[in-house]
Chains A and B, each alone.
Chain A
Amino acid sequence: MANTACFIIVGRNDIPIYEAEVGSAAKLTPILSIWQREDAAQLHQFILHAALDVVQDLAWTTSAMFLKSVDRFNDLVVSVYVTAGHTRLMLLHDSRNEDGIKSFFQEVHELYIKILLNPLYLPGSRITSSHFDTKVRALARKYL
C-alpha cells in the first residue's frame, strides 16, 4: 500500500466537513524538519488548504469531476474530485495510482450522496456518521 496521507471533504465556503488520516503517515520532507512528527496532521491541512486556490482555478476549466493531481508539495500530491455541488474531495498522497484514486473518489462520492439524502443531515455541516467513516476507511484500504 502506498503512503497515503490525508483525505478531506471540503464543503462550500472552504469548511472541512470530514477529515480522515488514512493509510500510513507520509514521511516528512527535510524542508519541514522543524515540523514535529505529531504536526503531520497540521502540515497536511496546510497543504490541502493551500491547494484550494488551484482547485478553484481548475474546477471551472473542465467538465470532469476528477481533477487528477492539482497541486504538489515536495513529494506529496493533492488529488481532487469536485462534485456538482462544489464539494471538494481532496486526497493528499504520494503515490501515482491514478485509477485507484479515481475509483476511490467515485465511491466516496456515492457515500457522500447517501449522507446528503439523510433528511437529518444539514448540508455543509460536519459529517459525524461513524458508518460513513468506516466505509471511507475501507475504501481507502481497497483502492489506495
Chain B
Amino acid sequence: MVEPVNSSFGKMLLEEVSPVVMVLCTPLVEETFLKNGLSFVETLKPFCNFRNIDVPVRTSSDQLYRLKKFTLRLFYASDIRQPNVEVAKQRLEHVITQAGEKDFQDLKFDPPQITDILSNPESEIAPSWFQYYNKELIRTLSFSDHEAFDHPVACLLVVSSKDEEPINKFVDLFNSNRLPTDGTMDPNILKHYLLVHDNQDATTERTSKVLSEMRSQFGSNECNLLCTNSSKEGNVDHQANPWASFKSSVSADKLGCALTGDDIVEQIKDLMQEFASRHIIPYMEQKVRELNQQISATRKGFRNQIKNLWWRKGKGDGPDVTKGSISNEYASTFEDYDIDKAWKHYAGVQEMMGLAYFISDQSKKESEYCMERAFSTYMKLGKSGFQNALRCGLWWAEMLKARDQHKEAASVYFRICGEEPLHAAVMLEQASYCFVLTKPAMLHKYGFHLVLSGDHYKNCDQVNHAIRTYKSAISVYKSTTWSHIKDHIYFHIGQWYAIVGMHDVAVRNMLKVLDCGYQSKATQEIFLRDFFDIVKKTGMKHEVVGLKLPVINMSSLQVIYEDHRTYASQASALVEESIWQSLEDDIIPSLNSGKSNWLELQSKLLPKKYKESNVCVAGESVKVDLEFKNPLLISTSITSVSLICELTTNSDDLKLVDNEPSSSSLGPEISTEHNQVTTSGFSSFTLSEVDFTLGGGEKNLVRLTVTPSEEGILKIVGVRWELSGSIVGVHYFQSVPVKAKTARGRRKNKLTPTDALKFLVIKSLPRLEGSIDHLPEKLYAGDLRYLVLELRNKSESPIKNLKMKISHPRFLSPGNHEEELTTEFPDCLKKGDEQNIVQHETNRTSSVFAFPKDVSLQGDRSLRWPLWLRAAIPGTISLYYTIYYEMENVSSIMKYRTLRMHYTLQVLPSLQTSFEITPSPSRLQEFLVRMDIVNRANSGCFQIHQLSTVGCRWGISLLQPVDTILPSKSLLAGQALSCFFMIKDCRKSGTEDEEIMSLPPSQTDVKLFTQDDDEKLFDIVSSPLASFHDSERSCQGPSVQVSPNTVDFILISRLAKSSSPSVVPDLPKILTHHSCHNSIRSSSPLSWSLDGPQTIHHDFLTSLCEIKLKMVIRNTSEGLSSVTINTNDCLPDAAAPTSSSGNQSGWRYVPTVTEEMKLTSDVMGSRLGKPPSSMESSPPFIWSGLSSTKVQIQPLSTTEIPLQISVFSPGIYDLSSYKLNWELSEHESATSSGTCQGYPYYLTVLQSE
C-alpha cells in the first residue's frame, strides 16, 4: 500500500487543502503582468510549491519540527466567495456532456470481454474525466462559511511603482469593499506589501523612493520589491515554460516572454520563498499556539467561530506540522460543538479530523469513524448539508480507495448518490468501478451498478453515457442465463442506440430479446413493436443469421425427393423405405445380376461421386418439410419462406464436383451472395415461397420445394424467411443432423448431414403419375367396389414394361383389360351379363400383375385400368402398391422407376357369418347348414341377398321360405340371425346312378330376398368375386391340405336403404362375405340310413312281430372302405362308458316331429337329457338275422344291407343299438379306421285292433 501522503488522494489533499493567500492589486500591476500574457496570480502560481523549504516550526505542544514541503494558493480577493450553485451545476453538466461526446465514436464497438476489463491497470478502468469531475464538484464548495479550507491566511497587497501615490493605494486596497463580505474575514490578517517595478517603462528612482516610503510606513519586513519584465525586447524563450501546465489557452511560447531568467529565479522565486518561510509559516505557527491556548482557557462556551476556523486552518495546511497534536485538540473542540448544536461546524471538524488522521497515516479506524460521523452529520442537515456531505463522501471514498478498501468506497459512492439523477449516475458509475477493483472482483455488483448508473444517465438524457455503461454491463451479463436481466439490458441498449442513430447496432442488440417466450404478453409486444420500429428506421432489410423468431425445429427437417422411386402422394412418401423395398423385391431388376463380368460392371456402375450423393431429376421438385414454432404469445406473420440453394451446373463434368466441397464451408457473406442470386431470378432452379401466420405458441409444418431445371449438383444450404416484412431471417442447415427419410438404409450411415442435402441433378426423365379415383376411406367389411387406376405420363418419351404389385391382394385385385365396364357396376356381376363374365385366370399365383406388353404411355396420355377393391377384414388397412416401369430410349443412369402409392382404408365391421354343417340323418349326401349371421356394425342395417356355395360340388336349397327367415328383411345393428339350408353333395360316382337327387346340379345359389323377383343373382364365378374368393381361401385356411369335405360359402348382402349414410360416405353397392373351409361336422367317411316302416300295427297275441329293415350305407370317401355292422341285443348298461348313447335306448318321449330344429338337435346327439324316470324301461327287442356283417363299399357308392328285428310287445323302440366299424384304405399303405354309433331310429309298434 502506498503511503497516504504519496497516494493520489494524499497528493490531491496537499495541493487542494493548503493556505490561501488573498491577493489585492491595482489595475496597473495587472497591466504590467499582462504583457506576458499572464495575470499576476498566474505569474506567481508556478512558484507557490516549495519542495524543500526547510523551515523549523513548533507544534502547539512545543515539539520542534522542520517543515519540508509547503504549498500556497493565491486567489484574487474578488474570487474568494462561494461560487454560484447553478453555474457550478451547469459546468458539471457540461463536463459530462463533453466527455460523452468524446466517447461517442467508441460506442459502436462491441463490448469488451470481462477478462479484458479485469486485466486492465487500475488507472484505466474508470474514464479519466472522473477525476476532473470530482475536482470540479469539490470546487463548487470552496469558500464555504463554516470551515476554513479556503480562507486566506494572509493578504498580499500589490501596487505598481507607476501608480499615483502608491502608499495610499496600499491602504485603499485593503480598505476597499473588494474584501470578501461573508463576515468570516479576520481584519487582523497578516498583510504583506509588494511593490512591482516594471523594468520596461518605469524608472528605478521612483521605485526605490516608493519602497523606502513603504518600509517606513508598513515596516521593513512586510515590504518587498518585485522587478519584472527585464527583457526589453520581450522575446525571451523559456526552455521549460513553467506556466505551460497552468494555462493552456494561449500558446505556450508567448507566456512570460518578457520575463528573463533573472526575473524568474531571483525576483519571483525568492519573493515567494521568503513570503512563505518568513511570514506565513511563522504567522500560522503563532496563530495555532494562540488558538490552542484560547481553547484550553475557555473550553466551554468557545464561540469564536472565526478564531476556530483559523485554528483549524492551521492544522489543515500544515499537515506535517500538526501531526501529533491534532487529534487531541479536535477532540476537545468537537465536544463543544456537540453541545452547542452547531452541527455543520461539528461535521466540518470531524471531516477535517478524518483527513488529518489519514494524511498523518494514523489510526485507520479513527479516520474512517470521523468521516462517517461527518458524513452522517452533514446528511442530517438535510438539503443544505448535502453538498458538504457530497464532498465529504468523495474524500471519504478517495481515502478508502487509497487504502484499497474499494468495496467500502463503493458503498460510500452509493450513499452520496442523492436525488439528482446526473450526479447519481456519475457516483454509481464510480461505485461500479470500485467493485471491479476489489479483490476478488465483484463483477455481479459491477454490472448491477453500471446498469443503475446507465438508467440514471438515460434519465438526464446523457444517452451516450447510458450506452457506455450498459455496454460495459453487457460484458458482465453476456453469458448469464438470468433471462430478465439479459432482456432488460439488450432491449434498453438497443433503444438507446436507436436514439443516437446507430440503428444497425440497435438492431443487433434488439435481436437478442426476440426469443422472449417467458415474458408476459405485454412485454413481448413492447419488445417486438420497438424492434420493428427500429428496423423500419434503418430503412433496409436486415438479413440476420440465426434469427430466433420463429424457432426452427431442426429435428423436424425432412427431405423428400424422388430418384427412381417416385411417390404418388405425400402419404406414400412418408412410408418407411423397408416396406417399399420388400414390396418391390420381385419387380425391380437386381443390381447384382449385372455383375456378370468386370467390364460390364464398370460401365454399369455409377461414378463414385454419383453414388455418394442423392439423385434427383431435373424438373422434379425436392421437398423439404420444416417445422416453425412461434415462441411468443403474439401472432407473427412470416412471409417468403424459401430455401437457400446452390446449383453448380456441371458443365466441366465432375471436376466441379471435386471442387465443390471446399465451398461448402460457407461464411455468411458468401451465402448472402447466393441469396441474391436466387432472388434475382437468374436461377437454374425455382424455389417455392410460403407465407403464413403463426399465432402465439403455434407450430406450423411448412413444405418448401426447390425444383432444379438443369443438371448439376444441387445443395440445399438453408432456409430464409421474412419476419413481418421487415427483417430477413436466415438459418443454415449445415451442422444439424438431417433425417433424410428416403435415403437408403445402407447408405444412410455414410452420409454426413451435408451430403444428405446434396443432390445430383440428372437429366429429366418421364415420370408416371397415378391415382385411384374415388377410393373410399371408410367402408364396411365385405364391401366390393369397382375402382379405376389412372396412370399418366406427362413427358414425351414413352415408358413401357409396366408391372404392379399390391401389398394386400386380398383387398385389391386388378382387372384384366383396359376397357371400361359397359354396364353399371353391381349389375355387371349378375348372371346374364355374359360378355363380362370371364372365367378368372387361375395362374395368378404371384402377386405381381404385369400389364400387357403393348401398354406404353407417353405424351399426356392416360391409362385407365380397372381395379377391384374388397374390404376383406375389419380394421385399419394400409394398402401399398407399387408400379414399376422402364423408360424407353433414355440413356440415363436410371433405367427404370417405380411409382409408389399408398392408401389407408378404414374398414368397419359388418356382417359376420359362421356356418355349421351336419349330415342329415335321413338323407345320404345331404347336409344341414346352419348359418349364423351377426351384424357387427355400430349402425347400419344390411339386407342379405344371396348365399352361394362355391364350386359345382354342392347344391344348396332353402329349408324354409325366405319370408320366415327374416320377416323384417333387414338385419339391424347387433342383430343376430340363424337360418338353415340344405346342401347336397352333387358328386357322382362313375358307377352309380343317383335317383333321389331332387335339385338340379347347377343350383348353387339361393336367393334370400323376396322383393324384386326379377332381380338376378350374382354370379360368383365372375372375375372379381372368384379371384377374391381365391385369396380368401388362401388367407382363411390351410391351403395345402384341403380336406375333401369342406364347403365354401359366399354370402352377398347389401346395405339396407334405411341405414344412415353418415358412417360410410358413399354407400356400398354389394358386400360379399366369404366363409371358406367349412367342414362337415361328421368326420366319418360313411353315411348311412336305416330304412324301414315308422309305425307298425301288429297283433301280439298271435305272434311276435318281425320287422324287416334296410340299411343303406354310402361311402363318401375316395377310398375303398370295408364296414362291419355289429348289432347289440343286450340293453347297454346305463353306466357303461362304452356306450355314449346308452341313455337314449328304450322308451322315450317322442315329440311331434315337426320342427327341424328339434330334429337337428337330436341328430347332434349328446344334448339330450335323460328320459323321464317315471317311464319304465321297455322290454328289449332282438336283432334277428345277422349279428355281424362285413361289406366292402366302393368309393362314392352305396350298398344295402338287410336287417331284421323281433319285437315282443307294443312300444316305441329306438333302434340305435348297433355299431359300424369301418376301415378305410385309400392307398396301399395308409389305412384309417373308426367306429360309428348307430343313429336313433324310432319305431312305433302298436297292438293291432
Contact = CB atoms under 8 A, between A and B. Distances in A.
B488 interface: yes
B444 A51 contact: yes
29 contacts: A14-B480, A15-B481, A16-B481, A30-B419, A31-B417, A31-B424, A31-B452, A32-B452, A32-B455, A34-B455, A39-B488, A41-B484, A42-B485, A42-B488, A45-B485, A46-B448, A46-B485, A46-B488, A47-B448, A49-B447, A49-B480, A50-B445, A50-B447, A51-B444, A53-B435, A53-B442, A53-B443, A53-B444, A54-B445
Nearest to B458: A34
A35 interface: yes
Chain B interface size range: 20 to 34
B444 A16 contact: no
A52 interface: yes
Contacts of A15: 481
Interface in A6-36: 14-16, 30-32, 34-35
Contacts of A30: 419
A110 interface: no
Interface in A38-72: 38-39, 41-42, 44-47, 49-54
Contacts of A16: 481-482
A38 B485 contact: no
B1230 interface: no
A27 B488 CA distance: 19
Nearest to A46: B448
A15 B484 CA distance: 13
Given A16-B482, A53-B444, A42 B458 contact: no
Which 6 residue pairs are nearest across A and B when measured between Cβ atoms?
A50-B448, A53-B442, A42-B484, A42-B488, A45-B484, A53-B444
Nearest to B459: A34
B39 to A, nearest CB: 44
B444 A49 contact: yes
Nearest to A45: B484
A8 B442 CA distance: 20
Which among B419, B435, B452, B459 has the greatest number of chain A C-beta atoms within 10 A? B452
Contacts of B417: 31
B487 interface: yes
Given A30-B419, A31-B417, A31-B424, A49 B485 contact: yes
Contacts of B451: 46
B115 interface: no
Contacts of A39: 488
Interface in B500-537: 520, 522-523
B419 A35 contact: no
Given A49-B447, A49-B480, 8 more contacts: A16-B481, A30-B419, A31-B417, A31-B424, A46-B488, A49-B485, A53-B442, A53-B443
A52 B476 CA distance: 13
A33 B484 CA distance: 18
Nearest to B451: A46
Given A16-B481, A32-B455, A49-B480, A38 B520 contact: yes
Contacts of A42: 484-485, 487-488
Interface residues of A, number: 22
Contacts of A47: 448
Interface in B927-955: none
Contacts of A54: 442, 445
Nearest to B456: A34
Contacts of A46: 448, 451, 485, 488
A110 B1027 CA distance: 72
Contacts of B520: 38
B528 to A, nearest CB: 15
Given A16-B481, A49-B448, A38 B455 contact: no
Contacts of B419: 30
A38 B481 contact: no
Nearest to A50: B448
A15 B483 CA distance: 10
A32 B428 CA distance: 13
A88 to B, nearest CB: 12
A49 B489 CA distance: 14
A35 B455 contact: yes
Contacts of B523: 38
Given A31-B417, A31-B424, A38-B520, A53 B445 contact: yes
A66 B594 CA distance: 79
A123 to B, nearest CB: 15
Nearest to A40: B484
B857 to A, nearest CB: 58
A102 to B, nearest CB: 24
Interface string B453-492: 0011011000000000000000000001110110110000
Nearest to A30: B419
A44 B487 CA distance: 13
Contacts of B447: 49-50
A54 B445 CA distance: 9
B520 to A, nearest CB: 7
A30 B452 CA distance: 12
A26 to B, nearest CB: 15
A47 B485 CA distance: 10
B459 A50 contact: no
A50 B417 CA distance: 18
A49 to B, nearest CB: 5
A47 B449 CA distance: 10
Contacts of B487: 42
Which among B435, B449, B481, B520 has the greatest number of chain A C-beta atoms within 10 A? B481
A16 B483 CA distance: 9
Interface in B135-191: none
A35 B482 CA distance: 18
Interface string A103-123: 000000000000000000000
Contacts of B435: 53
A14 B482 CA distance: 9
Contacts of B481: 15-16
A52 B444 CA distance: 7
A35 B487 CA distance: 14
A30 B459 CA distance: 13
B452 to A, nearest CB: 7
A67 B1130 CA distance: 108
B176 to A, nearest CB: 49
Nearest to B424: A31
B434 to A, nearest CB: 12
B455 A45 contact: no
Contacts of A51: 444
A1 to B, nearest CB: 24
A61 to B, nearest CB: 14
A45 to B, nearest CB: 4
A39 B482 CA distance: 14
Contacts of A45: 482, 484-485
Contacts of A34: 455-456, 458-459
A53 B481 CA distance: 16
Interface in B404-462: 417, 419, 424, 435, 442-445, 447-449, 451-452, 455-456, 458-459
